Amino acid sequence: MARESNPVSPLTLANDHVTVAALQTMPDYQPVNPVYSTAHLLQLQTSVTETTQTVQMAEIALAEARLAQMVASHAYHDAVVGARAQVVAQYGPDAAAVALVGLTRKSERKRPTKRTPKAKDA
């Protein structure tokens, strides 16, 4: 019985191709069930080949789309970072506009504190 939820491995498909090729060399092969005829098996083999190529083309298209998305998102992010820098340059590092674009105003930054050395145990 076919397990349609799991794909057939490429090795199994290669073995199936060998079997179909061997069946073609048998002139007296006449199955009772026409589903197992050489013509029907060749038709199914062609269907597998076509769908495999369709899947490969879809995977290539997906990879290209992901690459295009990555390039677009990097361009967008770089432009936003540049716009933030432009806000700081135009309005100053302590302006309210700096906080509006998601940056910390200079006056709101935590002041550095002096570190005290820890006492060593003798």
* Assigned domain for 117 exists: no
pLDDT band for position 112 (cuts 50, 70, 90): confident
Question: For residue 84, what are the domain limits?
Answer: 10-103
Predicted confidence (pLDDT) at residue 121 exceeds the cutoff of 70: no
Q: Percentage of the chain surpassing pLDDT 90?
A: 79
Give the number of domains in the chain. 1
Place of tokens 């006449």: 30
pLDDT in tens, 96-106: 999 999 998 98
Q: How far is CA 51 from CA 36, 56, 63, in A?
A: 20, 9, 18
* Assigned domain for 111 exists: no
The answer to whether residues 24 and 18 touch, using CB atoms and an 8 Å cutoff, is no
Based on its alpha-carbon atoms, the radius of gyration of the chain, rounded to whole angstroms, reads 33
* Assigned domain for 75 exists: yes
pLDDT in tens, 56-84: 999 999 999 999 999 999 999 999 999 99
* Assigned domain for 66 exists: yes
* Assigned domain for 77 exists: yes
* Mean pLDDT, the chain, integer: 92
